Amino acid sequence: MSNIESNSNHIRVAVIGSGPAGFYAADHLLKSKEIDAEIDMYDRLPTPHGLVRNGVAPDHQKIKSVTRVYDKIAKDPRFRFTGFVEYGKHIHLEDLKNHYHVVVFATGAQTDRRMNIPGEDLNGSHPATEFVAWYNGHPDYRDLEFDLSCETAVIIGVGNVAIDAARILCLSEKELRATDIAEHALNTLLNSKIRDIYIIGRRGPAQASFTNPELRELGELEDAVPLALTDEVEPDELSLEEISASGDEAVERRIEILREYAANSVSDKRKRLHLRFLLSPAEIVDNGEGKAGTLRLMKNELYRSEDGSIKSRSTDERIEIPAGLVFRSIGYQGVPLPGIPFNDKWGTIHNEKGRIIDPGTNAPIPGLYATGWIKRGASGVIGTNKTDSAETAACIIEDVKNGISLKPNSTGNGHVEELIRERQPHYITYEDWLKIDSLEIARGGECGRPRLKFTSIEEIFTALKGTGYVTEHFGADKS
Ligand code: NAP
C-alpha cells in the first residue's frame, strides 16, 4: 500500500460498513484527483456488500451482480477490506481518531420500525427485515423460526421490501431453486402451507412506495395470481389531483397494472396474492395459544394534511383477516453508533450533506462523515447511494483541501494492523472473501443453484481453513 506523506492532501480514510454506500464513497475518494486517499473499509460481518448480500431478494440475481463493481473497487492497491471487525467492539472512535484523517460511517439501517399496535409481539408477528435477513442467510438471523404452517400471511406496508417478502412466499419450488436463497429458508418454504398472501397499504395505490417493475413482476409468478379490488385501486379525487399536479406517469402506469390485477380471477395457481389498500392495522388478535390468529384492520379514507401531503385516517369500518403470520414492512431504521450524534426521530446520524454535526453547536465535527441509509434514512435503490456518497465525498474533499480533518497520531498502516490483530485475530481480507465467494458459487453449481451461501460464522471459517487461511496476513494482501 502506498503511503505518500509528501502530498499534503494525502489522507487515510476509515469507512465503517461495506454496503453499496461504503463502496461508492471509497470509489469517489479513490478517483479524486484533488486528494490522495487510502481506504480501510471495516465490516462487522466476515462478508462484505451489506444489503446486496443480506437484503436484495435472492431471486434478483441481476441486481446482486452489482458486486462486480465493488470487486473492481477493492482491487485498487490503495483499498483494503477488513471484515469481522466491529465498530464499538473491536475498534473504537478513539482508535479511529488516532489512525485516520477521515472516518465515514456507512452502517445502513439495521433495525425496523414498529406499528405500536396491540398483539405486535405475539408469536407469528415479525419484522419483515428479519424475514429478509433470514432467507438471505445473514448469520445473526439464520436461527430464527418462521412458522409457515398457517394458510394466510399478511404483510403490512406497500414498499419494495413488502413486495420482496410477499414474492418469496409465493415462489414455486422451481423458482426458489433458481435463487441463492439460504438452504434453511428453502427447506422451510418448500414445506409452506401458506396459500393467501396479503400486502396492505394504509393509503391508496397512488401513494404506494413500491416501484412498477417490482409490481409488474407479481404478475409473472408461476404459482401465484395477484389480485386487487377495483374500489381500492381507483384513485379518489385527492389522488387524481395529486397525480395530475405531479405529472408522474409512473403512478398512472402503477394504477394500470393494479387494474389488470383487479380484473384477474382466482385461477388454478396454488397461491393468491392480494394487494389491498386504505387499511390500517389496529390489532393482532391471539389465536388462544399465544400466537397471532387474526389481524384487525380499520378502513381508511384519505385527506389533505396541513402540510399539503395526502394522509390516511381511519373510518368506523373494521375488517378482519385470519392470519397466523404477520410481517410489518413499514421501513428500516438506523441504530445509534457509540460516540456519534444521532437523531432518534429520523433514525439517522446528525449530519448535513454527510458532514456529522455536533447537535450542541450545530457545527460539523472535523473528520467525521456519514453516507447511505445512516445518513439519509432507508430510501432509494442501490444506485441512489452513488449520488449520496458523491455528496459526502465532495464534502470530504473540500474539507481536506481546507486543512480540515482529524489529526491522527499514527499515520502509517502498521499500527492499526497491530491493533486489529490484537483485538480480532480472525479478521477477513477481501482476498479471503473472494475465496468464500468462489466456494459458495461452486457449492451452488453442484446442486444447480447460482450460489449456496455459508450462513454461519463457523461455516465461513471452516471453509476458509481449507483454502490455507491464515490470520497473520494483514497488510500482505496487495503491497
Ligand atoms: P418504504 O419504501 O419506505 O415503504 C414503507 C411502507 O410502510 C410505506 O408503504 C408506508 O406507507 C408504510 N408504513 C409506514 N408506517 C406505517 C404504519 N404505521 N402502518 C402502516 N403502514 C406504514 O420502505 P421499504 O419497503 O422498507 O424499503 C426501503 C427502501 O429500500 C426503499 O427505498 C425501497 O425502494 C428500497 N428497496 C428497493 C428494492 C428494489 O429496488 N427491488 C427492494 C427492496 C427495498 P406510507 O407511505 O403511508 O407512510
Pick from 225, 156, 146: nearest CA to 191? 146
Q: Which amino acid is at 44?
A: R
Q: What are phi and psi of 13, to 5 degrees?
A: -120, 135
**Residues β-bridged to residue 326:** 125, 154
pLDDT at 411 over 90: no
**Which pLDDT belongs to residue 415?**
82
Tell me: pLDDT of 475 over 50: no
Task: Answer yes or no: is pLDDT of 337 > 60.
Answer: yes
Q: Cα(365) to centroid of ligand 1, in Å?
A: 31
CA 209 to ligand 1: nearest atom: 2
DSSP strand pairing (10-16 vs 36-43): parallel
**Structural contact between residues 478 and 77, judged by C-beta atoms closer than 8 angstroms:** yes
What is the rounded distance in angstroms from the CA atom of residue 48 to the CA atom of residue 39?
15
- Summarize pLDDT for 158-192 with one digit per residue, the tens: 999 999 999 999 999 999 999 999 999 999 999 99
pLDDT band at 7 (very low <50, low <70, confident <90, very high): low
H helix count then E strand count, the chain: 18, 20
Q: Which atom of ligand 1 is nearest to the CA of 312?
A: 47
Taking the C-alpha atoms of residue 300 and residue 279, their distance in angstroms, rounded to an integer, is 5
Average pLDDT (238-257) is 95
Nearest ligand 1 atom to the CA of 382 is 40
* Residue pLDDT, tens place only, 361-385: 999 999 999 999 999 999 999 999 9
In angstroms, rounded to a whole number, what is the distance separating the alpha carbons of residues 206 and 215? 13
Instruction: Summarize pLDDT for 439-455 with one digit per residue, the tens.
Output: 999 999 999 999 999 99
pLDDT > 90: what percent of the chain?
Answer: 92
- How far does residue 426's CA lie from ligand 1's centre (Å)? 37
134 Cα to the center of ligand 1, angstroms? 19
Average of pLDDT values for 102-106? 98
C-alpha cell at 448: 444447480
Task: Give the residue whose CA is nearest to atom 4 of ligand 1.
Answer: 159
Q: CA-to-CA distance for 227 and 232, rounded, in angstroms?
A: 11
Cell of 342: 444521532
State residue 410's pLDDT score.
Answer: 76
User: What Cα–Cα distance (Å) separates residue 391 from each residue in 207, 388, 429?
Assistant: 28, 5, 28
Q: Give the Å distances, CA to CA, from 50 to 109, 130, 143, 271, 282.
A: 10, 14, 19, 31, 33
Residue nearest to atom 36 of ligand 1 (CA): 160
Rg of the chain on CA atoms, in Å: 24
CA angle, 213 as apex, 212 and 216 as ends, to 5°? Answer: 80
Rounded distance from Cα 179 to ligand 1 centre (Å) = 23
Q: What is the pLDDT of residue 406?
A: 97
Alpha carbon of 158 to ligand 1 centroid (Å)? 6
Q: Coil, strand, or helix at residue 61?
A: helix
Mean pLDDT of the chain: 94
Closest among 448, 172, 196 to 323, alpha carbons compared: 196
Pocket test for ligand 1, best of 112, 209, 314, 329 (most atoms within 8 A of CB): 209
Question: pLDDT tens digits, residue range 182-237?
Answer: 999 999 999 999 999 999 999 999 999 999 999 999 999 999 999 999 999 999 99
Return the ligand 1 atom nearest residue 332 CA.
26
CA distance 456 to 143: 10
How open is the CA angle 439-22-1, to the nearest 5 degrees?
Answer: 75
Ligand 1 pocket, mutate which of 54, 113, 160 (most atoms under 8 A from CB): 160
Q: How far is the CA of 271 from the centre of ligand 1 (A)?
A: 24
In sequence order, what are the residues at sequence separation of 6 or more whose Cβ sits closer than 8 angstroms to the Cβ of residue 293? 285, 286, 287, 322, 323, 324
The pocket around ligand 1, CB under 6 angstroms, is made up of: 115, 156-162, 164, 201-203, 207-209, 214, 280, 329-332, 378-381
Ligand 1 atom with least separation from CA of 158? 9
Could you tell me which residues come within 8 angstroms of residue 475 by beta carbon, excluding any fewer than 6 positions away? 1, 413, 414, 417
The predicted structure's pLDDT at residue 468: 78
Ligand 1 center from residue 129 Cα (angstroms): 11
Q: How far is the CA of 329 from the centre of ligand 1 (A)?
A: 7
> Cβ(73)–Cβ(48) under 8 Å?
no
Residues 207, 157 contacting (CB under 8 angstroms): no
The three grid cell numbers given for residue 351, joined into one nine-digit string: 449530519
